[in-house]
Structure 1
Amino acid sequence: MLTTRIIVLACAAFLIAASAEDRGILSAQPTASALTLAAGETRLPDGSLAYRPSQLPPGPRPLLVILHGYGQDPAQFTRSFKHWADRCGALLVGPVAKDVTWDVIATSRELDTRRTRPSLAPTRFGEDARRIDRDLAALFASAPIDPKRIALLGFSDGASYSLSLGLANPQLFSWVIAFSPGFALWPKHVSLGQKIFIAHGTHDTRLPFEATRDDIVKPLRAAGVEVQFRSFDGDHVLVRPIVQESLRLAFGC
């Protein structure tokens, strides 16, 4: 009991003392920028791959931020959404983890991944969150983005990171889309205005389905957050119709 109290108190002290950067709070915000981003693919200063369709309707555009999984090719994953972006007149940004996976995941490997809340101080955001913030700021300076139509999407480790970073930044991401996550770090407060879409295969052999259902979806719903949850008969994979459904819900196209 004493050990448990010490851990809880240490965690609370960490959350209070942690800087905004440690807690993953991003400073980048859309502005009324002129469209200077070139059509096609552009590498942003911290390595993210941005994509702008050649034909765009006038005015602020939707933005999909795409986080790759462990060891997954970031550019290939981002490019898999290009046809959708062309059809919907949306921009894409695919950040790249500094290592094989995202910083919060790397510092969480020795923890029980079924936990939905941080239990030790090393579990914090780091350079990856700062790099994403800088690249989003660079994009916002070169393209008009609709602040009400920004979604953060991820698969596998990228899904865990999208939930963790997305929940920490409801002021930026109106939707968070997570395919087969392993866990989520919770901020001090969750936003009831943010919408979440989660999908997970019931036969996932890499990250357990039950952890998503019981330790992510149920607590979010209990907190009053709107969560769309899709289970499917499959392993650790992306299911195209479910991906398409998530984008329709988030963007209407």
Structure 2
Amino acid sequence: MSNREKEDEGRQDESWQSARSGRLRAHPATTPRTGGAPVGMHPLGVSLGHDGVIYVPSSYRPEHPAALAVMLHGAGGSARHGLDLLRPLADEANLILVAPGSQGATWDVIVEDFGPDVRAIDEALAHAFEHYAVDPARVAIGGFSDGASYALSLGLGNGDLFRHIIAFSPGFAVPPRQIGRPRIFMSHGTQDRVLPIDRCSRRLVRVFERAGYDVSYHEFEGPHVVPADMMREAVRWWLEGTVH
């Protein structure tokens, strides 16, 4: 084995070790390493067989770093379902959206433990940070249902990267550790029969507030869905609450 092959193997081992511990290694650069990246929706093209898409708004300009959110679908969903959680507001609010797909029917830690999905998210973020100018103070992670549970788990364990977490109808949170103090937005329907509000968001918000997190919590009359007004309120909360 050549020295280069050994170095590549060593980097792969480090990548998997980081993924299994629930840690993301990608971080925004001061300026993207490559220029002229396209706007609109494009396949991510990352490895591991995950589907994934990135949406870059028509308003994006490299001289004005944009806000970026990783958006995660619910169980049985696809990358496009994650993208759709904020896609209607992306152009208006100048949001870059990164939407990976889970390798299995849902996200890895919900079935077993952190691993392949963390690695795919890390690769997707590395791709976005390499090609686009991103404001480090406005990097968020969010999702719906199982995707919201995963966003809370991964976001709390990577608060040095994610300053904001958007959780639409989450069920639980299992962060590998708590790093930083990301702000948390949560919404949940009072008629939710998939993830009942009493044992899910109402319990979670008490846990987070006792732990000292800044939580913006919203209940609405409705089932297991993401209403348009909750979507808009989440984006307003995220962008207006950014501290530079």
TM-score in terms of structure 1 length: 0.80
Change (3 A) 1:38 1:127: same
Letter in 2 for 1:167: L
Conserved? CA contact 2:166–2:234, under 8 Å: yes
Conserved? CA contact 1:37–1:52, under 8 Å: no
Q: Deviations over 1:54-86 (max 9, x none)?
A: 332432111121100111232144145334111
Q: State the secondary structure of the residue aligned to 2:25.
A: coil
CA distance in 2, matches of 1:84, 1:223: 31
User: What aligned pairs does 1:188-203 form with structure 2 within 5 A after superposition?
Assistant: 188-192=177-181, 194-203=182-191
Say which of 24, 29, 42 aligns to 2:22: 24
Say which of 43, 55, 58 aligns to 1:54: 58
- 85-94 vs 141-150, which moves further: 85-94
Change (3 A) 1:40 1:213: closer
Q: Deviations over 1:119-167 (max 9, x none)?
A: xxxxx21100101101110111111111100111100010010000111
CA distance in 2, matches of 1:155, 1:80: 8
Q: State the secondary structure of the residue aligned to 1:218.
A: helix
Is 2:167 aligned against 1:178? Answer: yes
Q: Deviations over 1:143-195 (max 9, x none)?
A: 11111001111000100100001111101111001011111003433533x10
Identity fraction in percent: 38
Conserved? CA contact 1:62–1:149, under 8 Å: yes
Count matched residues: 219
Counterpart in the other structure of 1:224: 212
Is 2:206 aligned against 1:208? Answer: no
Q: State the secondary structure of the residue aligned to 1:75.
A: helix
CA distance in 1, matches of 2:106, 2:164: 22
TM-score in terms of structure 2 length: 0.83
Counterpart in the other structure of 2:96: 91
Conserved? CA contact 2:158–2:179, under 8 Å: no
Greater RCO, CA 8 A, separation 6+: 1
Q: State the secondary structure of the residue aligned to 1:209.
A: coil
Say which of 229, 234, 238 aligns to 1:241: 229
